[in-house]
Structure 1
Amino acid sequence: MPTTLPVPIEFELPEGWRAAPPDDVGAPGAAFVALHPLPDDGFTANITIDGEYRPDGAALSEIADASVERLRRASMSVVVTGHREVGSADAPGFTQTLAVSGIVGGVRRDLVQSQVYLSLLDVADPRKRVVIRLVLTATASQHPSVLDDFQEFVRTVRPDSGAAS
């Protein structure tokens, strides 16, 4: 069953990408999944979104490290190939890129994940922090060609100003 985000967000998908039910594409922990229109060698590049309340003081880099450890338990190999803090004090973020080898659909795959962590604070109560994770997963050969789409997508993500409170 797909999860829901603790706060509503809005975003725009890059041209050609289409939403898919998380359960139908094997991503039950995701709140949202988008699929690229052109698979590469039988693997479809995808963007997933999930998030959770994080009232603790964990830095985004620590949350990202924990994500790597969870992925290591499910994969043959995970290597962090880059990471950096982004954003501002008012809108902090963290990005990391991972090289992942594992079995997907019965086939050994070399994939690349670009992960973006965004921290959102409740303006009425800053102790209520939400961390949203945006993830692009693609084959190593297709990643360079879909990375611009992902970056374009990330730039459109924002709190949903039209959501009822």
Structure 2
Amino acid sequence: MATQDRVSLPLGFDIPDGWVPVEPSSVGAEGAVFVAVHRGTASEFTPNITLSVGQRPDQAQITDIADEAVERLGRSMAALEVVRRKVIGTGIAPGVTQVLRIRTGEGQDLVQTQVQLTVPGASPAERLILEIACTATPEAARGLGDDFRRFVGSVHVRRDTTADEGEDS
């Protein structure tokens, strides 16, 4: 299995109302470049959106990359089931959306919606993969789906900033 190296990319995105950016390391998401939590949900689990960027110089198909994401998450969960998966995008910039039902080691049932998107590079070895995920309890996930879709739809590569900024726009 190929590794996915973390990279910087000048991203812009819109943070939906009710979501608050937090330092990724403060919530155990060291591999993420952006994390937001939803403060308005009364639950023992705080819903979150994470965004990670990695370079994939190999020739792995986007469905294989989605499988790797499932396998990686499954290593830290008591149970994991892929409920739904759909290939999206175009031939040059394919993507995958998938909905996962997970159970933590503490017995908490969660739903994670993942989106893997390809950002083509100047050569195949320079392609990047954006992994965007929203994790919440099943009850909260039903009410937060539109927020997550808006967030994913707003993510774009910015041309007017340095690679370290990655702020919302």
Aligned Cα RMSD in Å?
A: 1.7
What's the offset of the Cα at 1:42? 1.4
2:10, 2:162 within 8 Å by CA — same for their partners in 1?
A: no
5 Å-filtered alignment, 1:100-111, equals 100-103=102-105, 107-111=106-110
1:40, 1:139 within 8 Å by CA — same for their partners in 2?
A: no
Report what 1:120 is aligned to: 119
What's the offset of the Cα at 1:113? 0.4
Report what 1:139 is aligned to: 137
Equivalent-residue separation in structure 2 for 1:37 and 1:102 (angstroms): 21
Question: TM-score, normalising length from structure 2?
Answer: 0.87
Q: How many residue pairs are counted as aligned between the two chains?
A: 159
1:96, 1:114 within 8 Å by CA — same for their partners in 2?
A: yes
Stretches of structure 2 lacking an aligned partner (at least 5 in a row) = 164-169
Equivalent-residue separation in structure 2 for 1:42 and 1:97 (angstroms): 21
Equivalent-residue separation in structure 2 for 1:93 and 1:158 (angstroms): 14
Matched residue type, 1:24: S
**Offset from partner CA, 1:54-111 (integer Å, 9 cap, x none):** 01110111011011111111100000000011122343211111000013xxx42100
Report what 2:167 is aligned to: none
1:61, 1:94 within 8 Å by CA — same for their partners in 2?
A: yes
Stretches of structure 1 lacking an aligned partner (at least 5 in a row) = none
Equivalent-residue separation in structure 2 for 1:18 and 1:4 (angstroms): 23
What's the offset of the Cα at 1:126? 4.4
**What is the percent sequence identity of the aligned residues?**
37
2:18, 2:40 within 8 Å by CA — same for their partners in 1?
A: no
What's the offset of the Cα at 1:160? 1.1
2:117, 2:131 within 8 Å by CA — same for their partners in 1?
A: yes
Equivalent-residue separation in structure 2 for 1:164 and 1:74 (angstroms): 34
Question: TM-score, normalising length from structure 1?
Answer: 0.89
What's the offset of the Cα at 1:130? 0.3
What's the offset of the Cα at 1:164? 4.0
